[in-house]
Chain A
Amino acid sequence: MSETNVSKDNRVPEMFVKKEISFVRRLQKKLLNRTNINGTIAILGFFVVWHLLVILQIPFMKHIPTPVTVLKTFVNLITQKIYWVSLWFSTKRVFYGFVAAQVLGIPLGLAMGWSRKFKYLSFPVFEVLRPIPPLAWVPVSILFWPTNELSIAFITFIGAFFTIVLNVLRGVSSIDKELYRSALSLGAKPQHIFRKIILPASIPSIATGMMVGIGITWNVVIAAEMIAGDKGIGRLTWEGYLAGDTPTIIVGMISIGFAGWLSSGIVKIIADKMMPWRKLF
């Protein structure tokens, strides 16, 4: 064995020696990886191109402020309570709608996938309701729910609900027949099948449904707030439009994008924790 392969004590090959890495070094490694560096370059590039398009007075950009103006507005807005209250209300509505959609949608999807009879009974109604856009539910929702908050949370729920149900249903339907047979062959009873096979085998589809669902809930909550809300980041953006305050509109848009990205990140962490045997993507 050559000397370079051997650790200091001259006995254990280096590949088996666990290296002590400092916290700073670990953080450096985690943050300064290729994905993060490329991502940062892409985002910076986006702002540079935007800035150039505005100062070069490209026709379709004539009403758009430069990133610098937007940044100033942003700094100004984050010092105001209204910004954080708006963000808090939107996040709360997304959370309620999203959680309600999972709590009701996952069992419904599982039941539809598990029982053919239940699927035949419920699927036609589901399929008629599914194409109705969430925003078409706004008037009914306002009439039906006693408070504005509940109306918006309900519309957000509608946005994520159909996606999760459909994903879970597809997940259950595509479980390999051999997994059922294998379980039965190993001594599982039919009553074990749901909990021991269908449920864990559907987790990847549930995770995909959650990931798609969280994106939709942000889409929907913003639109719903613009139509029916008195608070929220959607309302803030819309008020920026009504006041002709373009930088506020753009700050609102960026805030929505950032909040959506953050929520998707959290959902991805949860999804990956739910299925340690594979990554969501």
Chain B
Amino acid sequence: MRNNGDEEVIKKATITKSDNNDMTRKGALSVRNVTKIYDPEGVHVVALENCSLDIKAGEFVAVVGPSGCGKTTLLNIIAGFDSLTHGEIYLDNELLAAPGVKPKPGPDRVVVFQHGALFPWKTVLDNVIYGPVIQKKMSRSEAIEIARDKLSRLGLKEIENVYPGQLSSGMQRRVEIVRALINNPLVLLLDEPFRGMDSVTKSASHEALLELYDIFHKTIYFITHDLEEAIFLSDTVVVMTTRPGKIRMTIEVDLPRPRDYRMLSTPKFLELKEMAKDAVHEEALKAFQRGERELA
């Protein structure tokens, strides 16, 4: 939820040097007919096939689907870690990825990884300021000031001098999201950031992410296996088919924001969950059967 203090921080973030995006760029992603074929040593694996998806600027999209359906492959292509075989991806109508275009990761599309990738040798504060300092967008002291502000907003100020190894997984992931947000990215790419967390930590992490989303309103590509999580957090749930990955269906989640846990038991939520569950279950079954065939 926004309040005056939040608006002040947003304003500050937009007027400081941290803003590396011009005002016309908002973070709309357009994935057009993307195919990705892995061909290591002649083994032809179609990870994504003719995959198209439009994500509006500031939209929270959750991507679900069976393991190996290409969710992470698509994330890696968007992030610039991998190339694509056919198709194009545009970010705010600028070509981001196409065959022959060299993949280029960058702070406009920051990734938060499944197992976390905070630098263990840096304190929380030094992790958070890493992006703006290495890009020379801010001086260290400027970055520290903004980082402290963001950390205290999430109740993480007390741990700024702690090393990541001393933190719980929930706290680590929150720090990692703050580290991503300080770069003022156009898109936040989250690869199952809350996987393996216990339910209490997970729900606290959901609340923290929703709070950040409500404040900063970034475009989010969020991979998960958890349908409830997908619906609770997102504006759109994208269900992918088993390999070769395609978009099977998109579900508009028209639940109001800000959201809280009471929504999980509302008829609307349960209806959306049923809809997604049927689609995901069918794909999971296909993946399972195919897995058995591959093993046979």
Identify the A interface with B (CB < 8 A): 176, 178-179, 181-188, 192, 196-197, 200-201, 203, 275-278
Looking at the complex, which one of B110, B117, B183 makes contact with A178 (CB distance below 8 Å)?
B117
When each residue 157-201 of chain B gets 1 if its CB lies under 8 Å from chain A and 0 otherwise, what string results? 000000111000000000000011001000000000000000000
Q: How large is the interface on B (under 10, 10 to 19, 20 to 34, 35 or more residues)?
A: 20 to 34
B223 within 8 A of A: no
Whether the pair A201, B105 counts as a contact (CB closer than 8 A) is no
Looking at the complex, which one of A178, A186, A275, A276 makes contact with B130 (CB distance below 8 Å)?
A186
Whether the pair B107, A185 counts as a contact (CB closer than 8 A) is yes
Whether the pair A185, B120 counts as a contact (CB closer than 8 A) is no
B81 within 8 A of A: yes
Q: Given A181-B81, A196-B134, A277-B163, is A187 in contact with B107 using a C-beta cutoff of 8 Å?
A: yes
Residues of A within 8 A of B261 (CB): none
Taken together as a complex, chains A and B put the C-alpha atoms of A153 and B254 apart, in Å, by 75
Residues of B within 8 A of A186 (CB): 107, 110, 130-131, 134-135, 179-180, 183
What's the nearest-Cβ distance from chain A to residue B194, in Å?
16
Given contact pairs A185-B79, A187-B137, A201-B120, enumerate 14 new A-B contacts (beta carbons under 8 Å).
Answer: A178-B117, A181-B81, A182-B119, A185-B107, A186-B130, A186-B183, A187-B134, A187-B135, A203-B121, A276-B163, A277-B122, A277-B163, A277-B164, A278-B163
Residues of B within 8 A of A192 (CB): 134
What's the nearest-Cβ distance from chain B to residue A197, in Å?
8
Residues of B within 8 A of A203 (CB): 121
Residues of A within 8 A of B120 (CB): 201, 277-278
Whether the pair B183, A187 counts as a contact (CB closer than 8 A) is yes
B36 within 8 A of A: no
Residues of A within 8 A of B131 (CB): 186-187
Whether the pair A185, B111 counts as a contact (CB closer than 8 A) is yes
Question: Can you spell out 7 A-B residue pairs with CB atoms less than 8 angstroms apart?
Answer: A184-B80, A186-B130, A186-B179, A187-B135, A201-B119, A277-B121, A278-B165
Q: Given A186-B179, A187-B134, is A200 in contact with B119 using a C-beta cutoff of 8 Å?
A: yes
Taken together as a complex, chains A and B put the C-alpha atoms of A60 and B131 apart, in Å, by 67
Residues of A within 8 A of B183 (CB): 186-187
